């Protein structure tokens, strides 16, 4: 049986988990401003990186990768459920489904 990724799409996003994280990041003004700033910093930082200078990737690709990593680290690290538990495991499983690069591309395109 063929797995169709379109079945998991949610409101134009890869999946529900990605849509939910994006929604919450956009929903609170201080959070929105913070991630806009981080996105701009990522774009600036990668401009003269070796990957971009060597032609291995574009500025957009390098910035997207960097921002996606920062999003994943900060949001996963801010989990209120740090101790091992059923709820913590479920939260971590949901966060592992998030398409961080899709969210990063959205922030970089604004």
pLDDT (average), residues 26-42: 95
- Quote the pLDDT of residue 21: 97
Better pLDDT: 80 or 103:
103
Q: 13: which strand partners? A: 10
Q: How many domains does the chain have?
A: 1
8 lies in a domain? no
54 lies in a domain? yes
Kindly write down the DSSP assignment for every residue of 52-91, as one continuous string: HHTTSS-HHHHHHHHHHHHHHHHHHHT-S--S--HHHHHH
pLDDT (average), residues 93-104: 96
Domain span at residue 74 reads 14-109
Query: Using CA of residue 82, residue 23, residue 32, residue 101, what is the dihedral sign?
Result: positive
The pLDDT tens digits of the residues spanning 38-94 come to: 999 998 888 777 666 567 778 888 899 999 999 999 999 998 888 889 999 999 999
4 lies in a domain? no
The pTM is what?
Answer: 0.84
Judge whether 62 and 52 are in contact, CB under 8 Å. Answer: yes
Q: 10: which strand partners? A: 13
6 lies in a domain? no
- Give yes or no for residue 97 having a pLDDT over 90: yes
- Quote the pLDDT of residue 39: 96
30 lies in a domain? yes
- Quote the pLDDT of residue 2: 43
Output b/e per residue, 25-47; b: 16+ Cβ within 10 A: beeeeeeeeebeebbeebbeebe
């Amino acid at each position: 049986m063929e797995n169709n990724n379109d079945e998991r799409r949610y409101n134009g996003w890869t999946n529900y988990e990605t849509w939910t994280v994006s929604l919450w990041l956009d929903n609170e003004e201080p959070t929105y401003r913070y991630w806009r700033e981080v996105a701009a910093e990522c774009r600036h930082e990668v401009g003269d990186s070796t990957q971009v200078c060597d032609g291995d990737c574009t500025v957009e690709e390098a910035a997207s990768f960097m921002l996606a990593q920062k999003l994943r680290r900060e949001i996963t690290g801010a989990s209120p459920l740090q101790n091992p538990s059923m709820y913590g495991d479920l939260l971590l499983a949901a966060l592992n489904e998030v398409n961080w690069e899709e969210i990063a591309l959205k922030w970089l395109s604004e």
